Amino acid sequence: MPRVPRMVVTDSGQKAAYHVISRTALDGLPFGNVEKDELVRVIQRYSAIYCVEVLGFAIMGNHFHLLVEVSPVDSMCDDEVRKRFCLLYGEDTEFPEGRLDEYRERFCSLSAYVKDIKQRFSCFYNKRKKRKGTLWGERFKSVIVEQGNTLIHCLAYIDLNAVRAGIVKRPEDYRWCSIGYHIQAGNKDGFLSSDLGTPDFGVDDAATQLKAYREYLYHVGAIDKRGKAKISRRVLEEETLEGFEMNRLRRFRYRSRYFTDSGIIGSRAFVEAQCEAFKGHFRSTREKIPKRVKGIEGMYSLKRLTEA
């Protein structure tokens, strides 16, 4: 059966956000501290080469998450293409002027970006472990994510991976995730975007945004989710008296799976527009109707192409 084409936003002048997930084909948890450190370095390298902004990431023992914004092709001038080419191949490599448009497309390609990350890390891992063969499982998954509330929910989902897995008690204690990198490394070299997807918090400067995001992240992480992270009885009683009005925090626990199981997620209008743009990707001819995400007001999703 042929592979389903990947959904990639191509609207002129519009940045697009994606949640990327890729898992290893190996058994167990093959990525230790050294491997995780190297994968972060590889992601940093190619994020500087490609026209992307990294909002969040988490490197786990057998998979990784990335939340990135990819710039449109027409946003890159010719000199910028040449500059990124030199970052990739070295200052002494002559730029092939006849392939200018080809490299412009490449440096704005989500697929090329993730492919380079995975291939480079595979070379490192196989050499270190003195092995050959495939490291990664099936091709990476990507979900188109709407800006605003959806983005901040998705970022929190990624940063809470280590907490949900029982590895750490505080999300920033895990250095192989974006909140850990912000706190432990001070976002060295500006690797991560500073806006954190927090426009609704009403703050502009990076320090205040980080503080507001940590407060939000801690509230979300304290909510009981399948027995892994539990709120105290006292807090639960207080929330019951308040009528459970902490909407974003409470709704998060019910539908975090939508950030990996969906093909498109956001407002109904956003999902409908993206569905129309990618209608040629669907195998079924049935009408694609966005489904409301229960528990999160105003959020809708569309199943993966193979399921829709």
Task: Write out pLDDT tens, residues 239-287.
Answer: 334 333 334 544 454 456 667 767 788 888 898 888 888 877 776 767 7
The pLDDT of residue 228 is 54
The pLDDT of residue 148 is 84
Percent of the residues in the chain that have a pLDDT greater than 90, as a whole number:
43
SS3 of 247, please?
Answer: helix
Half-sphere exposure of 54 (CA within 13 A, CB side): 29
Top-confidence residue, 81 or 205: 81
The pLDDT of residue 256 is 63
Asked if 63 and 22 count as a contact pair (C-beta separation under 8 A), the reply is yes
The pLDDT of residue 295 is 60
The pLDDT of residue 248 is 52
Q: How far apart are CA 44 and CA 42, in angstroms?
A: 5
**Residue 305: is its pLDDT beyond 50?**
no
Task: Write out pLDDT tens, residues 110-133.
Answer: 999 999 999 999 999 999 999 999
- Mean pLDDT computed over 43-71: 96
**Residue 183: is its pLDDT beyond 50?**
yes
The pLDDT of residue 45 is 96
- Domain spans in the chain, listed from the N-terminal domain onward: 1-145, 158-256, 263-308
- Mean pLDDT computed over 46-62: 96
All residues at 6 or more sequence positions from 131 whose CB lies less than 8 Å from its CB, including other chains: 125
Q: Return the axis-axis angle of helices 110-129 and 33-49, rounded to nearest 10°.
A: 150
The pLDDT of residue 51 is 95
Average pLDDT of the chain, as a whole number: 81
SS3 of 135, please?
Answer: coil
The pLDDT of residue 165 is 85
**Residue 58: is its pLDDT beyond 70?**
yes
- Mean pLDDT computed over 135-141: 90
Instruction: Flag the least confident range among 96-105, 220-229, 238-247, 282-291.
Output: 238-247
**Residue 237: is its pLDDT beyond 50?**
no
- Mean pLDDT computed over 182-202: 76
b/e per residue 250-286 (b: at least 16 CB within 10 A): bbbeebbebbeebbbbbbeebbbebbebbeeebeeee
The pLDDT of residue 212 is 81
The pLDDT of residue 264 is 85
Q: How far apart are CA 166 and CA 175, in angstroms?
A: 15
The pLDDT of residue 238 is 41
The pLDDT of residue 239 is 36
CATH architecture of residue range(s) 1-145: 2-Layer Sandwich (3.30)
**pLDDT tier, 145 (very low <50, low <70, confident <90, very high otherwise):** very high
The pLDDT of residue 257 is 62
